[in-house]
Amino acid sequence: MMKQRTIQDLEELAKPFIDIGLYSSDATFFSDLIRDTAEHRLNRYEKTIKKLERKYGMSFDDFSKKLELEATIEEEDDWMEWEAAINMLGAWRKTAWLLLTRSCSS
């Protein structure tokens, strides 16, 4: 029941864009939406990683080793943000790759 309601909600979200002819189907609307989201997220997490690499002048792995010896609260907070950005970047890269391979096979 919940799955059916979710599908109906998604179809309702796509309908205005299909009605004006911007998209030909729910699938094309959501594919485009996910692709745009993936691109935005990839850029966001890449910028976070680069910002922290510049701030500390080293890679995440080197920074992690440095923190094993001693760390401030700010460094620990930055480490968590950095790790999260790396993990999320990896997840969004997988999503982008799946979108790319599916669009190439269609």
- pLDDT tens digits for range 35-89: 899 999 999 999 999 999 999 999 999 999 999 999 999 999 999 999 999 999 9
d(CA 9, CA 12) in angstroms, rounded, equals 5
d(CA 7, CA 74) in angstroms, rounded, equals 43
d(CA 4, CA 6) in angstroms, rounded, equals 5
DSSP type of residue 71: -
Q: Which amino acid is at 52?
A: L
Q: Picking from 5-14, 32-41, 94-103, which range would have the lowest pLDDT averaged per residue?
A: 94-103
Contact 82, 66 (CB under 8 A): no
- Looking at residue 85, what is its pLDDT? 98
d(CA 85, CA 7) in angstroms, rounded, equals 30
- Looking at residue 2, what is its pLDDT? 80
pTM here? Answer: 0.81
Average pLDDT (16-36) is 92
